[in-house]
Amino acid sequence: DADVTQTPRNRITKTGKRIMLECSQTKGHDRMYWYRQDPGLGLRLIYYSFDVKDINKGEISDGYSVSRQAQAKFSLSLESAIPNQTALYFCATSDFATGAQDTQYFGPGTRLTVL
Amino acid sequence: AQKVTQAQTEISVVEKEDVTLDCVYETRDTTYYLFWYKQPPSGELVFLIRRNSFDEQNEISGRYSWNFQKSTSSFNFTITASQVVDSAVYFCALSEATAAGNKLTFGGGTRVLVKP
């Protein structure tokens, strides 16, 4: 089984709808991240969480919110989706305890289309 | 602010040719980490290598090799004797330690197409 899973893998929605993307991990890592990928722009950080009680905004947090329900679960919400949020979304995890906490391991991605 | 530049947006080679991907970074920190990730057509991101700023030794792993040069702020990646399975988008990334913890900044990626 995959260490980092994302649901759904694909989603098409309409402008104005509320969408939640979910991420679960079995790696036992304490840190979790949400990124979006747009062509030519690489990955940009939306939010990150270093433990259950810690939530931080990333480079492009406007229009997004997150919830860290447990160490293993980190959800990303689009309260009112708009077309320019159409992108590939990745969840990632890293482990502070190993000292290589900046080595991030990624989920398979969620392709979101907002019409 | 940190920045990663991958000037090559797409490289096309014929199988068995070598291909080098350039990565140039900007940072004010003296301690940082550099990474390469591979994104095959299936879409997932695969971690390839992590290198810290104090270790300038080149590294080789099979057909992959990396050349880190602090003097030019570059961390280039070479695939030797390319194969069709190497076709993917490759991302270079930089991690800086901040008060809030370590975060990655990615370059825009280089698409490699290996033709049979």
User: From residue B69, how far is each of A26, B85, B107, B109 by CA, in Å?
Assistant: 36, 28, 17, 20
Listed as own residue / partner, the contacts of A48-52 with beta carbons closer than 8 Å and 24 or more positions apart are A48/B101, A48/B103, A49/A74, A50/A96, A50/B100, A50/B101
CB proximity B40 to A under 8 Å: no
CA distance A63 to chain B (A): 21
Is residue B61 pLDDT above 80, yes or no? yes
Mean residue pLDDT of chain B comes to 92
pLDDT in tens, A54-113: 999 998 999 999 999 999 999 999 999 999 999 999 999 988 766 666 789 999 999 999
- pLDDT score at B34: 93
Of B9, B47, B91, the CB nearest to A105: B47
Is residue A8 pLDDT above 70, yes or no? yes
Interface of A with B in 39-68 (CB under 8 A): 40-45, 48, 50, 56, 58
A-B CB pairs within 8 A amount to: 61
d(CA B12, CA B111): 8
Interface of B with A in 81-100 (CB under 8 A): 91, 93, 95, 97, 100
Residue A29 DSSP class: -
d(CA A52, CA B84): 42
CA distance B43 to chain A (A): 7
Which spans in chain B are helix H?
Answer: none
Asked if omega into A8 is within 30° of 0 (cis), the reply is: yes
- pLDDT score at B37: 96
CA angle B41, B43, B44 (to 5 degrees): 125
Q: Which one of A47, A60, A104 makes the best mutation probe of the B interface by having the most chain B beta carbons within 10 Å?
A: A104
d(CA B91, CA A104): 13
**Could you identify the residue written with the tokens 């991101």?**
B45
Contacts of A58 in chain B (CB under 8 A): 103
**Could you identify the residue written with the tokens 């997004």?**
A64
Q: Could you tell me the end-to-end alpha-carbon distance of chain B, in angstroms, rounded to an integer?
A: 41
pLDDT in tens, B82-108: 999 999 999 999 987 665 567 789 999
